[in-house]
Structure 1
Amino acid sequence: MPPKERIVDGKTFSYTGLIDFQKFYKSMKEFWDNKGFDFFENKHEEKVKDDGSRSINLEWHTEKKITDYVTYSYDINITIDTLKLLDNMKQYVENLNIKINGDLITDYQKYFGDKPFNIFLRGLFEKYLYDSELKDHKKNVGKIADEFLNLVKDFTASFKL
């Protein structure tokens, strides 16, 4: 398994209020598509409750090969306790929670292999030759996660009129 470093560790966003869930879902997915990430929906679970409302649990994984040596990877969990349709065709969501983790994966093609001496050489390479580039990649992983959460915040804020 290639070396993976957790850069964004469990950043969260919570919301309760009005929402258009179809547009919300579409805008979140389009965010990753527009950035060129491969998108995988590992889990999409919906349960209908006795009162007709739904609870939703989504698990997404996105990743993008940035260079021949570096990949950005994100895991996103989206949970909704209650999503109800109101009389005026709007939706009300209770306890929408989004959690994002972001990882920087290096040497995903195993240029250095997995023998102990080669792992030592990879460590030297990353520390002395590739250090400034890795710092830039770490900043970018955090920046993309923040952009995603800002999109979510802006979208939900548009319903608080």
Structure 2
Amino acid sequence: MAEEYLVIDGLEFTYKGLFDFRDMLRYIKRIFTQHGYTILEKEKEVKIKPTGKDFYIEFLAEKEKTKFEKLTIILKLNITNMINTTVTIDSKTRKLNQADITAILDAWLITDFKGRWTAPWYFFLKTLLRHGFTKMGERFEDELINDTNTICENLKAYLNLHRFVEAKPA
């Protein structure tokens, strides 16, 4: 049976302003793949309101380190009151989106995700390793923390690219 260790719980940031929705989703997928993760969209929910669209998107990113250990990052995006705006940048007109974004990242270290250590002999070895020497998967904990913080900071930096652009409502 797989064991899950929560390494980072609820690393959160908020952003209010302009961004390109499609480009942001592409950027999220690209940044995870650059760090060696395979990413999939676990959940997507859209609500249309008079004030704008609300999105909830959950991404699941995984990186296998060994046959027994993998790193998992869950990114939850909550986008509220998204509206389309027209922006003039260097005398060129671009269509961007304006919304409030809340991003939450959770990082998990999962060991024995294929169930190979469930036999009695392996169970004894796993208990000995866990309590006698070191926590299984501890060597990848620093990498997971570093990856999660780097992805969070890069996403913040991407969103702040549009911070100083003047918007005109569409």
Question: What TM bracket, shorter-length normalisation?
Answer: 0.7 to 0.9
Counterpart amino acid of residue 104 in structure 2: K
- 1:105 match: 110
2:126 matches 1:122: yes
**Percent identity between the two aligned chains:** 18
Counterpart amino acid of residue 47 in structure 1: K
* 1:78 to partner: Cα distance: 0.5
- Cα RMSD over matched residues? 2.1
* 1:128 to partner: Cα distance: 4.6
Query: Is the strand fraction higher in 1 or 2?
Result: 2
- Within 2, Cα distance between the matches of 1:133 and 1:151? 29
Q: Flag structure 1 segments of 5+ consecutive residues without an equivalent.
A: none
Q: Give runs of aligned pairs for residues 12-161 of structure 1, distance below 5 A.
A: 12-51=12-51, 53-88=52-87, 89-94=95-100, 96-113=101-118, 115=120, 118-128=122-132, 131=134, 134-161=137-164
- Within 2, Cα distance between the matches of 1:114 and 1:75? 30
Counterpart amino acid of residue 113 in structure 2: Y
SS in structure 1 at match of 2:67: coil
Query: Per-residue CA shift, 1:42-82, capped at 9, x if unaligned?
Result: 2111222224x211110111112111221001222100111
Whose Rg is larger?
A: 2
Q: Flag structure 2 segments of 5+ consecutive residues without an equivalent.
A: 88-94, 165-170
TM-score (norm 2): 0.82
Q: 1:5 to 1:133 in 2, by over 3 A?
A: closer
- Within 2, Cα distance between the matches of 1:141 and 1:126? 19
* 1:134 to partner: Cα distance: 3.4
* 1:23 to partner: Cα distance: 1.2
Counterpart amino acid of residue 46 in structure 1: V
TM-score (norm 1): 0.86
* 1:118 to partner: Cα distance: 4.2
- Within 1, Cα distance between the matches of 2:32 and 2:46? 22
8 A contact 2:129–2:135 mirrored in 1: no
Counterpart amino acid of residue 123 in structure 2: I
8 A contact 2:59–2:74 mirrored in 1: yes
Q: State the aligned residue count.
A: 157
